[in-house]
């Protein structure tokens, strides 16, 4: 009997549990937030695609073999000298920046735990934030005017080197600090010196990550314009090999000056240059990522 009473009292409530109601306001806000979140990603993807498609459509008529075989004249022609110049400047600044940047990165990761290392890290982060036009202007007043190099390859390369240094240093530091401490201890335990450990153990292990950083640095230097405007100058001719007193052409300059010319041919050339630069930069970034992923799969490299 007692059970029946219990059932009568309890069961009706249990059979129709009170439904938890989400207020209309909360539901509205959730829908609104979902739309905003998806919308903001769609916005970004649309911007990316519109940049690529816009450049590609305008550049399409100009993409022919003439780009690679002719040099620019005042309003048109090809881009041979500019392509050559872009490659020379990027590789030159990489050659200068990579050794310095990598060893600064080694210092930061191996000895950078004290106050000096913290200060150095802080200053290199600040150096990343220096506007590139300021670097270009300082390059202009020091190398172009004061040292009398005039618009030249060397001035452009050195200016870009200062810009790349902090990027390479930080990516190297990150790559090395991901290698576990026990690897270093094993090396010291076998009696290896510091130099040997860095060159034979740490650098090979971190090579893929460092390479990815270098790919990124080259991409960055290829796309820069502002630091080169008043250091490398511009030339319609091929480079003859002088480091100073000879200006050099580069692709990004073509983009911003030729688009201001009133001729359709110049505009097409500007878009062709933009296409080449964008394609080059994106390829380098993707190549760097692919290299990293492959190295991790193959030999389980440190990230």
Of 144-173, binders to other proteins (CB under 8 A) are: 162, 165-166, 169
Choose which of 194, 236, 243, 299 interacts with other proteins (CB under 8 A). Answer: 194
Report if residue 45 touches other proteins, rule: CB under 8 A: yes
The owner of tokens 């005017």 is 145
- 3 vs 36, which CB is nearer to other proteins? 36
Closest CA to 124 of 107, 99, 141: 107
Which of 6, 10, 47, 183 contacts other proteins by CB under 8 A? 47
- Segment interacting with other proteins (CB under 8 A) among 6-14, 200-208, 216-224, 234-242: 216-224
Considering only residues 259 through 278, tell me which ones interact with other proteins, judged by CB under 8 A.
259, 270-271, 274, 277-278
Q: Helices H, strands E: what count in the chain?
A: 13, 0
CB of 242 to other proteins, least distance (A): 23
* The two three-digit tokens of residue 186, written as one number: 């094993």
Helix (H/G/I), strand (E/B), else coil: 209: helix
Is 234 among the residues that bind other proteins (CB under 8 A)?
Answer: no
Which residue in the set 10, 11, 38, 68 belongs to the binding site for other proteins (CB under 8 A)?
Answer: 38
Distance CA 255, CA 82 (A): 11
Q: Is residue 243 part of the contact set for other proteins (CB under 8 A)?
A: no
Bridge partners, residue 72, by sequence? 77
Question: Cβ closer to other proteins: 131 or 180?
Answer: 131
Which 282-301 residues touch other proteins, going by CB under 8 A? 282, 285-286
The answer to whether the CB of 165 falls within 8 A of the CB of 102 is no
Cα–Cα distance list, 53 to 48, 222, 279 (Å): 9, 21, 12
Choice from 6, 28, 68, 133 touching other proteins (CB under 8 A): 133
Q: What's the helix, strand, coil split of the chain in %, to 5?
A: 75, 0, 25
Interactions with other proteins, residue window 58-97 (CB under 8 A): 58
């Amino acid at each position: 009997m007692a059970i029946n009473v219990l059932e009568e009292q309890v069961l009706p409530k249990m059979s129709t549990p009170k439904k938890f109601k989400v207020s209309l306001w909360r539901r509205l806000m959730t829908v609104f937030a979902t739309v905003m979140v998806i919308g903001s990603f769609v916005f970004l993807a649309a911007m990316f695609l519109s940049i690529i498609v816009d450049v590609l459509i305008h550049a399409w008529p100009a993409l022919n073999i003439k780009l690679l075989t002719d040099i620019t004249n005042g309003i048109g022609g090809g881009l041979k000298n500019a392509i050559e110049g872009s490659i020379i400047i990027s590789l030159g600044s990489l050659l200068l920046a990579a050794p310095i940047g990598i060893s600064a990165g080694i210092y930061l990761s191996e000895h950078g735990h004290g106050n000096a290392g913290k200060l150095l890290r802080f200053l290199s982060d600040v150096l990343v934030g220096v506007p590139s036009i300021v670097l270009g202007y300082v390059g202009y007043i020091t190398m172009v005017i004061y040292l009398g190099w005039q618009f030249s390859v060397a001035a452009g390369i050195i200016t870009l080197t200062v810009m790349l240094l902090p990027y390479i240093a930080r990516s190297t530091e990150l790559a090395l600090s991901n290698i576990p401490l026990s690897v270093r201890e094993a090396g010291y335990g076998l009696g290896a010196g510091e130099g040997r450990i860095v060159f034979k153990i740490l650098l090979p292990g971190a090579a893929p990550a460092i390479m990815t950083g270098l790919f990124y640095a080259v991409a960055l230097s290829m796309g820069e314009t502002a630091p080169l405007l008043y250091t490398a100058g511009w030339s319609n001719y091929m480079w003859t090999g002088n480091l100073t007193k000879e200006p050099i052409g580069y692709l990004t300059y073509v983009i911003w000056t030729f688009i201001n010319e009133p001729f359709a041919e110049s505009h097409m050339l500007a878009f062709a240059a933009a296409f080449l630069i964008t394609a080059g930069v994106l390829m380098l970034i993707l190549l760097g990522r692919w290299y990293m992923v492959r190295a991790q799969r193959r030999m389980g490299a440190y990230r």
